Amino acid sequence: MKEKITEKSIQLFDQKGFSETSIQDIVDSIGVTKGTFYYYFSSKEELLMDIHLRYIDDMLANQHEILGDDSKSSKDKLLAIVQMLLSNIKTQGASAKVFFREMRNLSEESLSEIIPKRDQFRLNIEKLIEEGKQNGEFRANLNSPIIAFGILGVTNWSYQWFNPDGSISDREVAEIFTEMILKGIEM
């Protein structure tokens, strides 16, 4: 039931927004009582925090798997991360929208748990850029933090316009993005 509440809430938060969605809207949409909601979550914000944690923890786990593949070059790892971010739009598009759009509705205490994880994702990309610089795949004079922010800016905004069921696949978009990025940083 907790998963059902969470999934329906993600849909409602995506469609209506967090502030405009009431607990009553959530329970009515799945045919349960508020008591059922409160059995699993103490508040709507706790539910939002749960959605955020699940999203960022999943992203970090996927990124960690990519970065841990020693058979891949830095360039291949970068492509894999960009593709993972884009393919995530198909599998978790509504969660991505809720993550980016509704973070402002989290308390300072909740943000203090989410922001370091979000920052770690970015820092892992910075480290990958640094490794690529050290092994000669990328130019040595790059500003790795700015490149990482640029990569995240390009990919994270994609949930606004990218249609994973459209005429171009996530892999093709990832290749275009990666080529665009690498032509500016490749040796």
Listed range (12-16, 136-140, 158-162) with the worst mean pLDDT:
158-162
Looking up tokens 């995240």 gives 152
Give the C-alpha distances (Å, rounded to integers) separating 139 from 13, 122, 125.
42, 19, 15
Residue type, 49: M
Instruction: Please write the tens of the pLDDT for every residue from 83-96.
Output: 898 888 777 778 88
Report the C-alpha dihedral over residues 165, 171, 177, 178, rounded to 10 degrees: 170
Indicate whether 185 pLDDT > 70: no
Residues 145 and 150: their CA atoms lie apart, in Å, by 9
Q: 106 and 52 in contact (C-beta within 8 Å)?
A: yes
